[in-house]
Structure 1
Amino acid sequence: MITAEKPEKSNPELPMGYSPVPRGKLANAVTCLEMTAKPQLREAESSAGLSLERMPAPDPQTYRQLFRAIGEDWLWVSRLVMTDEALKAIICDPLVEVYVLFSGGRQVGMLELDFRQAGQCELVFFGVGKDAIGTGAGRYLMNHALSIAWARPIERLWVHTCHFDHPNALPFYQRSGFKPYAFMIEVTDDPRLTGVLPRSAAPHVPILE
């Protein structure tokens, strides 16, 4: 449901008005959000059958299977194009924590928290599968994300979301206590045209060949 793809650095200023995007590329409107204190947790509608387990030092194949299952329809792609070595350097770092959300024994969501920057935590990836949207699983996962992050001596928790995500993503983050602080535009190759993702992924985002 919700993604947190980290955008690459871009030019500090964009021209006013419309800017054409070449065919085969995607232009992604990114909203950056943060919080500087732990908010009051909102009650989940239902937590029956839900559990969260940490995935310690996951191997790249297992991690990518989960990453793809949760993020394919929202165009999560960054971890699919990394080398195994580059990916392992991140997800096997002791300051990076990856969690799997289960419902009735099935994997239905993922959470990744990055504490590598002193005093801060990045909510790098956060999402639940389509079947879990609207069931309370997202709120359950967010409450755990906030509790885990703020149990550390941090001063800031931050995240990115974008217009490729579920339309409820941004309001969900704001209801959870995050406040927008910046907008970015990210231009990338369309992963459905490069073969990284199937053409059927993210049908809400048009393909321009």
Structure 2
Amino acid sequence: MEITKWYLEQDSPGQIRPAREPATAAPIIRAEVPSPELSRYLYTAVGGDWHWTDRLPWTWPQWQDYLDQPGVETWIAYRHGTPAGYIELDGHEPGLVEIAYFGLLPQFTGQGLGGHLLTTGLRHAWSLPERHPGHPPVQRVVVDTCSLDGPAALVNYQARGMRLYRTETIPYHQAATPGPWPGAAKDL
């Protein structure tokens, strides 16, 4: 099996094309205390159906070491007090912020929340030095997505003003999604 991988970027905060606000309030709050348990929960709850597997073997100390890096931030969207999705920013490399992970829990898709969360996340990516004194100015925000991700992923990135700069086709060998917990796998 082969998948297509798309790489997108912005090189100015002026390139953000905001999504409209969702009809129902959806506060987006930064998780200011690095929490491996919370981050792993979000990773598996959002990515379990989309073949996110690279971090499944991480130990608690690996999660903590990653989250403790300056410039790594997790922003969580809530709907009526329930986590609905998240965006993880990785700004540990000077001048660059990568959207490491982004997505919604399944029951919150199709409600206009993804565009709102991505708009907010992009704004936070560009303003990262304001929250991390001594961090150099951001010159570029990047993300990659692939044909295994949610069907709205690429469209949402482009609609928010990110532009495609590279596409590649790569082999892929996993047949089933891992699901958000052991035994919850389902093929999409």
In the alignment, structure 1 segments of 5+ residues that lack a partner are 1-20, 22-26, 205-209
Q: Which has the larger radius of gyration?
A: 1
Q: 1:49 to 1:32 in 2, by over 3 A?
A: same
TM-score norm. by structure 1 comes to 0.75
The count of aligned residue pairs is: 179
Counterpart position of 1:30: 5
Q: 1:120 to 1:193 in 2, by over 3 A?
A: closer
Q: Counterpart of 1:173 in structure 2: which amino acid?
A: Y
Q: 1:86 to 1:41 in 2, by over 3 A?
A: same
| C-alpha deviation, 1:191, in angstroms | 7.9
In the alignment, structure 2 segments of 5+ residues that lack a partner are 130-136
Q: Percentage identity across aligned positions? A: 28
Tell me the secondary structure at the aligned position of residue 71 of structure 1: helix
Counterpart position of 2:92: 116
Q: 1:76 to 1:194 in 2, by over 3 A?
A: closer
Counterpart position of 2:124: 148
| C-alpha deviation, 1:202, in angstroms | 5.0
Counterpart position of 1:130: 106
After superposing on structure 2, the runs of 4+ consecutive aligned residues of structure 1 that deviate more than 3 Å are 184-189, 191-202
Q: Counterpart of 2:174 in structure 1: which amino acid?
A: D
Instruction: Tell me which moved more, 191-200 or 133-142.
Output: 191-200
Counterpart position of 1:171: 155
Superposed CA deviations along residues 23-57 of structure 1, whole A, max 9, x for unmatched, are xxxx4321111111122432325252211111124
Q: Counterpart of 1:120 in structure 2: which amino acid?
A: L
Q: 1:118 to 1:158 in 2, by over 3 A?
A: same
The structure 2 residue matched to 1:56, chosen from 29, 32, 43, is 32
CA RMSD of aligned residues (A): 2.5
Superposed CA deviations along residues 111-140 of structure 1, whole A, max 9, x for unmatched, are 100111111110110101222212111111
* Aligned equivalents of 2:157, 2:92: Cα separation in 1: 22
Counterpart position of 2:76: 100
The residue correspondences of 1:3-14 to structure 2 (distance < 5 A) are: none
* Aligned equivalents of 1:163, 1:187: Cα separation in 2: 12
